[in-house]
Structure 1
Amino acid sequence: MTASDTLANRSARGSGPSPGLILAFVCMGQFMVFTDVSIVNLALPSIQSGLGMSDVSLNYIVTAYATVLGGFLLLGGRLADTYGRRRLIQIGFAVFALASLVSGLAENGTMLIASRAVQGFGAALITPAALAILTNTFSEGPERNRALGVWGSLSGIASIAGVILGGVLADGPGWEWIFWINVPIGLGAALLAPRVLPESRAAERGRFDTPGAVTLTSGLLLLIFTLGEATTVGWATVRTLGSLAGVVVLLAAFLAIESRSASPIMPLRIFRLKTMRVANISAVLVFGTFGALFFFASLFMQQAFGYSPLKAGFAYVPLAVSVAVGAGVASGLVTRIAARTVVMTGLGLTIAGLLLMWRAPAGGGYAADLLAPFILLGLGCGMVFVTLQIAAFVGVSDKEAGVGAGLINTSQEAGGALGLAVVATIAYSNIGSELAGTGGDPDKITAVHEAANHDAFLAAAALGTLALLIVATLMPRRKDPSEAVRSEDASETVKSPEGQAR
């Protein structure tokens, strides 16, 4: 009997938590994790003033969290499958809360950056375990699609809410509260989890794949860190090229280990599921597109439109509402039409919004130049996030739900880092010399920033177009993706030359 069958029977007798309560709990954890990805952005000037940090070191407040989160997600998923998903959620919430407390108490930049990295580790334990519990609670089909629709919409909404909340708290009680607000939530969730969540794990625990976990996590951490650093040290430097070579060595070692391991941390057979495979490839490009969008849209509003951080944060509200609408539309459509069609529609809206941002002039009006693209981007974001989450779990067994959850979230985080690094390199390729040539003229400085941000939006649109082409050509056209899974499974059973099935 699966976890979802057990839960359904318990709920029918009134002796266990309802699926709705479980969904609300895991979504609360997801919201907290993704809010903290962006909550520091508008508070950075206040943090810099309070701790006396340099401009360069401010970058690590953001990247330390995202790098560790992305690097440990697959490890967190396998730990959840092996030792219990509810147990990992409890540990993750406790770690996250304590690290948040230390972040708010930080007396210098080094202490804050280190505690943000520990926050990212706690988040990496929460996210895949919570998503695995969700997929085990709701059976594959419309029920799970609706639940994943709620979950997926939170990724976009929480990222935008984090920007808004960070501006409000930084201008109000102080930047410390962007971290301290997590403490009662995290500790309360850790204590409440046994009353709300059922425990589940893989039926066969086996041996833990320590070499695979070490090589994969090290490779992902090095990759994400290198991509972030390349925007400042350059792509053609010995440091960047050497780091990328190290990434190749580590990931090649990981694949070699997994092909021989009796209990691999990421079974390579999972990539035989075409819909899941395409969903993860698409997620890398899609989250690269949106990661670049949110970063440069925040800068564009402040540098080219002259918005304050708080005003820029609230300017995202229509985008956030549109994300919720797009997610709701997608979760309904994906039960009636092919996921491919929904993702393509969402990407089309996203590309259109980015092209409108590319043409928005400096000093323009919000209603005339930003509102329409923000609405298009929000609708596209919601539709794509939800549908890719659903597609990534088609055909994934309960036994490997944690691995599937870790994989799709790793694709999202790695994609966000990769996309931002590539787009920033394009946008800022000559900005130093261009700013030096302005002679300090404010109008010329604004023009340079306008051009850089326009280049960023166009590059992000190109990433979105590449994602659209991949989805159009590779994602199954069937209305029911499970049919594709069954077809793929059937095609695996072929005869060898000796006449034996393999």
Structure 2
Amino acid sequence: MYKNLSGRPGVALAAVAVAQFMVALDMAVVNVALPAIRADLGFAPLELAWVVHIYALTFGGFLLLGGKACDLFGRRRLFAAGLVVFGIASMAGGFAQAPWQLVAARAVQGMAAAAVAPAALATLTTTFTEGPARMRALGVWSAVNAAGGAMGVLVGGLLTEYANWRWVMLINIPIVAIALAAVAAGVAADRRDHAAGRLDALGAVLATVGIGLLVIGVVRTDHYGWTSGVTIATLTASVVVLACFLAVEARVATPLVRLGLFRSRWVTGANLFVFLAAAGQFSAFYLVSLYMQQVLGMSAGATGAAFLPFSLTVIIGTVVATRVGARRSPRTALIGGGLLTAAGIGWFALISPDGSFVTDVLGPSLVGGFGLGLCLAPVAAAATMGVAGPEAGMASGVFNSARQLGGSVGVAALATIAASRSRAHVDPAGLNDGYALALGIAALVFGTAALVAAVVLPAARRDSTAAPKAPLHEELSPARP
């Protein structure tokens, strides 16, 4: 078990914010650069999607392992190592001369992100005590997380249009340098109080393979379809492997994920919420960006810029959530924010082939962005409510895994629905019908997340969740400079 010795909370928060922004940015930054990448490196059409898919695959597949590694080997150590590897992989991708080199670099980026993301969130939960301090820190984390995802489209579009596609990879290098400097200056050192225990190697393999099969099964439905033998076999294999993983975790002394963690309604409810919310949010991002480019005829740069109002209202919503909800239960904000976001995505479903950015995109962006901002910090607070310091990395890994998997499943499922609806009509009107149907379903998915918050989450704060082995007040006390 590791315990924070000293640190500078403000600088640590800056390190987390910069790192999380980069991880979120790289989920989308290459999307609009794909045509330029294909032309330059000579990708085959069916291979090109792996530039995007491989990052999601390795990121999602290694998150649980990354979360547990934080608890075993130290959050600062894993944080810094993940950043270094991410920077090296970004440089390798920026100088890639063949398709396999870029795909390999993106795979390593995903694995590094699987170390950085849980280490960043665990750093916050062990640096700031539950209550107003942690809620403010999570508000910053949430804002940069959402901004990074939205800004990825903008940054990717601008760099591709006015510089070169290689800069969508190389832009990470100065970001890594800034984050590493902040980690060295502000993140508390980790001291091992006693034997940390062994890494659950079998559980790590089963979790990585099971989640990897799940992600690869859903992201390849654009080629094989949900009812194809390939998809069914892949998803069935995933279920079997994950069932084996749960059986192992119930028996080992130091599990990768302690199943007792889910006895907490906070942990269970927050992870269900974020899975559904990510499915609705990520798919809405994807569908609206396609609508603007393929129906409204907007350029890549203009499409990226169109997400700025959404990003700004997410930040405003986050500020409101952290100030109003700092001393209140996250449940209220998640119900209200979830319903408001569902309303915004539902408004998107009214898109028209004869519409415009002002009439069909701006209004829903403002409503949905504000609602999403109300959710982000509270759901992260709920997912770590009462979790003791020795399990902060574990809880963070589970939370990030739920978010990543929700996004992957949501985009794959709703993109398939949109394509099925518009397959017979590839004109703007036909595409519009497909996107509108899928956006309506995305709104229902986010509305279901709000229902989960209302039904599963406790009505009042509860501070007892996890293993009784470590005193909660000791593990969650803020680091002293």
Q: Quick check: TM above 0.5?
A: yes
**Quick one: distance in 2 between partners of 1:487 and 1:78?**
15
From 456, 469, 475, the counterpart of 2:438: 456
- Tell me the alpha carbon deviations over residues 26-60 of structure 1, each in whole angstroms, 9 at most, x when there is no partner: 11111111111111122122212212223332221
- Tell me the alpha carbon deviations over residues 290-314 of structure 1, each in whole angstroms, 9 at most, x when there is no partner: 1101111110001111111111110
The question of 1:144 aligning with 2:134 is answered yes
Counterpart in 1 of 2:476? none
From 132, 142, 148, the counterpart of 2:122: 132
From 180, 205, 212, the counterpart of 2:203: 212
Question: What SS is found at the alignment partner of 1:320?
Answer: helix
**Quick one: distance in 2 between partners of 1:80 and 1:202?**
12
CA drift of 1:192 comes to 5.6
Check the 8 A contact 1:273/1:488 in 2, yes or no: no
**Larger-Rg structure:** 1
Check the 8 A contact 1:353/1:377 in 2, yes or no: yes
Counterpart in 2 of 1:475? 457
CA drift of 1:188 comes to 5.3
Which amino acid is the alignment partner of residue 399 of structure 1?
P
The question of 1:337 aligning with 2:328 is answered yes
Which amino acid is the alignment partner of residue 199 of structure 2?
F
CA drift of 1:368 comes to 2.3
Which amino acid is the alignment partner of residue 139 of structure 1?
T
Check the 8 A contact 2:317/2:372 in 1, yes or no: yes
CA drift of 1:468 comes to 1.8
The question of 1:393 aligning with 2:391 is answered no
The 1:246/1:214 distance shift into structure 2, 3 A limit, reads same
The 1:125/1:141 distance shift into structure 2, 3 A limit, reads same
CA drift of 1:351 comes to 1.4
Check the 8 A contact 1:202/1:399 in 2, yes or no: no
**Quick one: distance in 1 between partners of 2:212 and 2:109?**
15
Question: What SS is found at the alignment partner of 2:436?
Answer: helix
1:428-443 map, 5 Å: 428-435=419-426
CA drift of 1:187 comes to 4.5
- Tell me the alpha carbon deviations over residues 7-27 of structure 1, each in whole angstroms, 9 at most, x when there is no partner: 3xxxxxxxxx42111101111
**Quick one: distance in 2 between partners of 1:352 and 1:248?**
33
Which amino acid is the alignment partner of residue 174 of structure 1?
N
Counterpart in 2 of 1:442? none
**Quick one: distance in 1 between partners of 2:191 and 2:352?**
53
CA drift of 1:108 comes to 2.3
CA drift of 1:232 comes to 2.2
Which amino acid is the alignment partner of residue 305 of structure 1?
L
| Unpaired stretches in structure 2, ≥5 consecutive residues | 469-481
**Quick one: distance in 2 between partners of 1:279 and 1:381?**
14
- Tell me the alpha carbon deviations over residues 441-461 of structure 1, each in whole angstroms, 9 at most, x when there is no partner: xxxx11111111111111101
From 217, 223, 229, the counterpart of 2:220: 229
The question of 1:64 aligning with 2:46 is answered no
The 1:118/1:321 distance shift into structure 2, 3 A limit, reads same
Counterpart in 2 of 1:31? 21
Check the 8 A contact 1:73/1:406 in 2, yes or no: yes
Check the 8 A contact 2:291/2:432 in 1, yes or no: yes
The question of 1:313 aligning with 2:295 is answered no
Check the 8 A contact 1:41/1:62 in 2, yes or no: yes
- Tell me the alpha carbon deviations over residues 441-492 of structure 1, each in whole angstroms, 9 at most, x when there is no partner: xxxx1111111111111110121122122222111112x343xx47999xxx
4+ residue segments displaced more than 6 Å: 486-489
Counterpart in 2 of 1:447? 429
The question of 1:381 aligning with 2:363 is answered no
CA drift of 1:245 comes to 1.3
Which amino acid is the alignment partner of residue 28 of structure 1?
V
Which amino acid is the alignment partner of residue 70 of structure 2?
A
Which amino acid is the alignment partner of residue 477 of structure 1?
A
CA drift of 1:191 comes to 5.9
CA drift of 1:195 comes to 3.1
Which amino acid is the alignment partner of residue 260 of structure 1?
R
The 1:281/1:214 distance shift into structure 2, 3 A limit, reads same
Q: How much is the aligned-residue C-alpha RMSD, in angstroms? A: 2.0
- Tell me the alpha carbon deviations over residues 350-379 of structure 1, each in whole angstroms, 9 at most, x when there is no partner: 111112111121231322222110001111
Counterpart in 1 of 2:147? 157
Which amino acid is the alignment partner of residue 21 of structure 1?
V
Count of residues paired in the alignment: 467
CA drift of 1:223 comes to 0.4
CA drift of 1:189 comes to 3.8
Counterpart in 2 of 1:41? 31
1:25-424 map, 5 Å: 25-187=15-177, 189-190=179-180, 193-200=183-190, 203=193, 204-424=195-415
**Quick one: distance in 2 between partners of 1:27 and 1:229?**
32
Which amino acid is the alignment partner of residue 138 of structure 1?
F
Check the 8 A contact 1:35/1:161 in 2, yes or no: yes
Which amino acid is the alignment partner of residue 464 of structure 1?
F
The 1:20/1:453 distance shift into structure 2, 3 A limit, reads same
CA drift of 1:123 comes to 0.8
Check the 8 A contact 2:62/2:208 in 1, yes or no: yes
From 18, 43, 50, the counterpart of 2:8: 18
Which amino acid is the alignment partner of residue 436 of structure 2?
H
Which amino acid is the alignment partner of residue 229 of structure 1?
R
Question: What SS is found at the alignment partner of 2:297?
Answer: coil
CA drift of 1:2 comes to 8.8
Check the 8 A contact 2:11/2:185 in 1, yes or no: no
Mean alpha-carbon deviation: is it higher for 464-473 or for 121-130? 464-473
Check the 8 A contact 1:202/1:400 in 2, yes or no: no
Check the 8 A contact 1:133/1:200 in 2, yes or no: no
Which amino acid is the alignment partner of residue 345 of structure 1?
G
Which amino acid is the alignment partner of residue 118 of structure 1?
V
- Tell me the alpha carbon deviations over residues 70-128 of structure 1, each in whole angstroms, 9 at most, x when there is no partner: 11111001111111111111211111011111111112222211210110111111111
Report the TM-score, using the length of structure 1 for normalisation.
0.89
- Tell me the alpha carbon deviations over residues 214-235 of structure 1, each in whole angstroms, 9 at most, x when there is no partner: 0011101110111111232011
Mean alpha-carbon deviation: is it higher for 191-200 or for 294-303? 191-200
**Quick one: distance in 1 between partners of 2:274 and 2:414?**
16
| Unpaired stretches in structure 1, ≥5 consecutive residues | 8-16, 436-444, 490-502
The 1:18/1:158 distance shift into structure 2, 3 A limit, reads same
CA drift of 1:199 comes to 2.2
**Quick one: distance in 2 between partners of 1:430 and 1:339?**
38
Question: What SS is found at the alignment partner of 1:131?
Answer: helix
**Quick one: distance in 2 between partners of 1:278 and 1:137?**
24
